Structure 1
């Protein structure tokens, strides 16, 4: 699911233009994209290694999880700055700068979830669910880019970036309920926290406090 969402979400705005030699974005976008795709591929591969009893490979690959997550989060910043500059050049105004704050909140949330997953690596049920939540956070931009394929969807920041992006957490909870008889605490409390955090971002985006913090970050890191 994560891999398919990433391929579809970034297909029209990144993968296809790159394949045609028509992509003109900064090199930082390529670096961040490669790292984020590396995370998604690792997330897809790790369960396969477990189910095929290649636990040694699973553990060895898992050692790169935290460094890779940090690299993904750090490269979010120059990628976000590139996007702000592009949007400002197209007349985006203050709302373009406001997008920068979400880069920091998403990066911090992603790394925090990965660290929680790494710390619980000896508790498979908790470990797997922390990593699931981390991956759902990092692929959030892919769901939002579905707006390019579904331009008729109203309020894409609600229906695509929030509802579609987070419904997988609810489905995972339902799966837990059916299979385990109860929702795992990591999925319950961690999942609810992710949903509440992302809902707060949508509601607060471009509000005066949000805009003020985003402008501080822009003045420090911007042009």
Structure 2
């Protein structure tokens, strides 16, 4: 298998995925971060800025890494790549105080929904961090490494897609149509691309990608059943 996947280097597909990630962040957060920031109407704590720019840093790093591979600068790609692990850890760590601040802000109006959102944020970013750690553990397997990094990025970016609801208010159930189906569509596209290019779908997409989608569907089900709200309340108290 290693030989057949070895052809999958410096391909335009990865540049396209990186470009899509940048576009999703810029478009999704334009209405809730970038434009209000320019107008001076954000009103958010410093940790929100830190978390946001760390997440944007991940997308910039992804794009840089793809460009380096396309330029044939593999050695530099590997050296810079080590920045990804502490960056992912920082993104996860900054989500805890930020998520708690958001929950405390929304509790008076949203009640259990605010707790559930806090739990959902931590679950999602724990999944992101787990995928990043797995990708780094498999750096010697480039076919796995690059696909796990892309999967981690897809998981990280669902909040950007969810914010598309601000300029697509007619879309029903945005937590499903935007934050789940649209956000995870790149997994299906990548699997189809593998099937066309290699005649089979890489296990990273077929197995791990499917597991990611199932986990996110389970999150939505738990969210609507109230289980996530109970968990979120416990986490809210734990991180007090």
* TM-score, with length taken from structure 2: 0.89
1:211 deviates by 1.9
Partner Cα separation in structure 2 for residue 75 and residue 206 of structure 1: 26
1:121-140 → structure 2 map (5 Å cutoff): 121-140=139-158
Quote the residue 2:121 is aligned against: 103
Quick check: 1:182 aligned with 2:170?
A: no
The number of equivalent residue pairs is: 221
Quick check: 1:161 aligned with 2:172?
A: no
Partner Cα separation in structure 1 for residue 63 and residue 180 of structure 2: 22
Quick check: 1:38 aligned with 2:57?
A: yes
Partner Cα separation in structure 1 for residue 128 and residue 142 of structure 2: 19
Quick check: 1:192 aligned with 2:210?
A: yes
Partner Cα separation in structure 1 for residue 78 and residue 49 of structure 2: 28
Question: Which of 94, 97, 115 is 1:75 aligned to?
Answer: 94
Quick check: 1:145 aligned with 2:173?
A: no
Question: Which of 168, 172, 188 is 1:170 aligned to?
Answer: 188
Segments of 5+ residues of structure 2 without an aligned counterpart are 1-19
Partner Cα separation in structure 1 for residue 50 and residue 230 of structure 2: 29
Aligned 8 A contact 2:21 2:157 in 1: yes
Partner Cα separation in structure 2 for residue 153 and residue 71 of structure 1: 33
Task: Give the 3-state SS of the residue equivalent to 2:110 in structure 1.
Answer: coil
1:117 deviates by 0.8
Partner Cα separation in structure 1 for residue 136 and residue 237 of structure 2: 35
Structure 1 stretch displaced more, 189-198 or 73-82: 73-82
Aligned 8 A contact 1:95 1:206 in 2: no
RMSD over aligned CA atoms reads 1.1
Partner Cα separation in structure 1 for residue 61 and residue 174 of structure 2: 28
1:33 deviates by 0.4
1:47 deviates by 1.2
1:206 deviates by 4.3
Quick check: 1:119 aligned with 2:137?
A: yes
Partner Cα separation in structure 1 for residue 158 and residue 202 of structure 2: 23
1:107 deviates by 1.6
Runs (4+) off by over 3 Å: none
Quick check: 1:3 aligned with 2:50?
A: no
Quote the residue 2:73 is aligned against: 54
Quote the residue 2:107 is aligned against: 88
